[in-house]
Amino acid sequence: MTAVAPHPPRTALSHRQILLLMTGLMLGMLLAALDQTIVGTALPTIVGQLGGMAHYSWVVTAYLLASTASTPLYGKVSDLYGRRPVFLFAIGTFLVGSLLAGAAQDMTQLIVTRGVQGLGAGGLMTLAFTVVSDVVPPRDRGRYQGFFGAVFGLSSIAGPLLGGWFAAHDWRWIFYVNLPLGVAAMVVCHRVLRLVPFTPRPRRVDWAGAALLVGGVSCLLLASSWGGDAYAWGSPPILGLLLAGLALGALFLRQERRAAEPILPPALFRRRTFALGVAAGCAFGVVMLGAVVYLPLYLQVVQGVPPARSGLLMLPMMAGVIVASVLSGRWISRVGRYKWFPVAGSAAMAAGLALCARLDGASPPAAAGTAMTVVGVGTGLCMQALILAVQNAVPRADLGAGTSAATFFRTLGGAFGVAVLGAVLAGRLGAELAARLAASAAALPGDARAGLRELPVGDPAAIRALPDPLRELVRSAFAESLQTVFAVAAAVAAVALVLTLLMPDEELRGPDPAASP
């Protein structure tokens, strides 16, 4: 095993310097978090103006592929070259992608520039957590990292609202709005990150492992994106992508065992807390993105709420995320242990999603609000506690690789989770619609019967415009189908609960911050 230079002790930054650094890191994280929520709302408008409906899904897929595949690379490269240049590169790449995406003249340009955006976004979240870990000991880290969860909650509220507003005026500002935020983040981080110490290490990047990882992840994500949509799940293209992804994954594992500087060090997975934390984070990604994607669908289709208002009705969930994330961060620092926070969070998410599985078209707003609040509280308790658990379990020399691994598997879990839950929704919805149409076709008026073969099940606005009998039929089918989706998500949250219960109850490293100012 190659000896590496030891990392120096952390430089003691003042509370003011840490807050200034946090401002820059939160602005950088806001760029990536906001982009995940703002584009989806306006995407129909963008595609309508640029044309190319056949390439609709690629606008999302290109971003997802680039951001997910690049996440582990950022962590490892930052361990070798330092956080400051790598984080500034990530912000700069994201801004270039945003500028070019806003200026896109056709769908091909937009897809390519979204890939550039994703390449930058892959480093924004993981490096934000890593930089904080460089300057703050684990015992005191929770109260700072808790604000990152608040950024996610804020973006989930602001994204759909801003996306709808810009779509109605000028969709290009969905991308241009990133520029002032990104420039501010670069200025702050350029100044403050100079204070973060770094000792050079042997610079041997595992390019073979990087290529295998990117190839394997790309194949698996393409299979999950296209399966059940562009191609049937059992079709040769999907099976070929799945087999290629698994084969490249096996080659990647083999390469990592013999690489001098592996992208994802296999030794880390032999640490019980790290392995369980990463696995729980993967399950958490499934549940979190499932709630973010399918709760708005419930509001817009089953309850018939317009998109802008559905964003406002999601406020209880986002308030739960923000409050629980900030408070749990402070409590973790105070008690010096983290285990029971993700345990409680997983239990809350399972309970909240079980409540969501009981919602239908007749459910009062208070029932939906209560369910979303419980899910939000669970999300806030889990989000940064799992990252903190992973960071506490790895050597400081591997903080970048460890943090990026946690972020990578959470993102990967979310990507596959949305695909799997989408397949559950599509399968159940098809059966529910067929059963309802067969039972009700004779009683429907003639104009409604004429539209039975081309129901706009993917467009909430078009569903709201259907004749009353047919609209209610579609909404009831969606309600039953979404109940199944939420029940499956609750089962995944229960898996996360088991994994967090198995985690050791370790004490956070570092002095008790109770006496800190």
Q: What is the 3-state secondary structure (H, E, C) of 434-481?
A: HHHHHHHHHHCCHHHHHCHHHCCCCCHHHHHCCCHHHHHHHHHHHHHH
Number of domains forming the structure of the chain: 3
Residues 6+ apart with CB under 8 A from 285: 409, 410, 411, 412, 413, 414, 415, 417
Vertex 70 angle, CA 260 and 240, to 5°: 95
| 364 and 230 inside one domain | no
The CATH number covering residue 399 comes to 1.20.1250.20
What's the whole-number average pLDDT of the chain?
80
| 34 and 121 inside one domain | yes
Q: Is the dihedral of CA 386, 392, 396, 398 positive or negative?
A: negative
62-76, 359-373, 407-421 — most confident range: 359-373
Q: Is the dihedral of CA 212, 217, 218, 220 positive or negative?
A: positive
Among 196, 225, 241, the domain boundary falls at: 196
Q: What are 352-382's pLDDT values in tens digits?
A: 999 999 998 888 888 999 999 999 999 989 8
Could you give the CA distance from residue 219 to residue 415 in angstroms, rounded to a whole number? 13
| 315 and 419 inside one domain | yes
Could you give the CA distance from residue 342 to residue 501 in angstroms, rounded to a whole number? 9
Give me the domain span that covers residue 330. 267-510
| 224 and 365 inside one domain | no
Enumerate the β-bridge partners of residue 337: 507
Q: Token pair 């983040």 is at which residue? A: 185
| 247 and 273 inside one domain | no
| 255 and 321 inside one domain | no
Q: What are 469-506's pLDDT values in tens digits?
A: 777 788 888 888 899 999 999 999 999 999 999 998 88
pLDDT at 445 over 80: no
Residue 102 lies in a domain: yes
Residue 8 lies in a domain: no
pLDDT at 292 over 80: no
Mean pLDDT for the stretch of residues 10-23: 73
Residue 228 lies in a domain: yes
Q: Token pair 């619609």 is at which residue? A: 433
Among 141, 171, 196, the domain boundary falls at: 196
HEC string of 147-178 equals HHHHHHHHHHHHHHHHHHHHHHHCCCHHHHCH
Mean pLDDT for the stretch of residues 443-466: 57
Residue 505 lies in a domain: yes
Among 164, 196, 228, the domain boundary falls at: 196
Distances (CA, A) of 20 to 14, 23, 46: 10, 5, 36
Residue 450 lies in a domain: yes
| 61 and 144 inside one domain | yes
Residue 84 lies in a domain: yes
Give the lowest-confidence range in 24-28, 402-406, 465-469: 465-469
Q: What are 172-215's pLDDT values in tens digits?
A: 998 998 999 889 888 888 887 776 666 666 667 788 888 888 88
| 228 and 377 inside one domain | no
Q: Token pair 């658990």 is at which residue? A: 389
| 315 and 357 inside one domain | yes
| 154 and 219 inside one domain | no
- Closest-CA residue to 342 (of 381, 294, 311, 307): 381
Residue 517 lies in a domain: no
| 236 and 274 inside one domain | no
| 74 and 215 inside one domain | no
| pTM tops 0.85 | no
Residue 1 lies in a domain: no
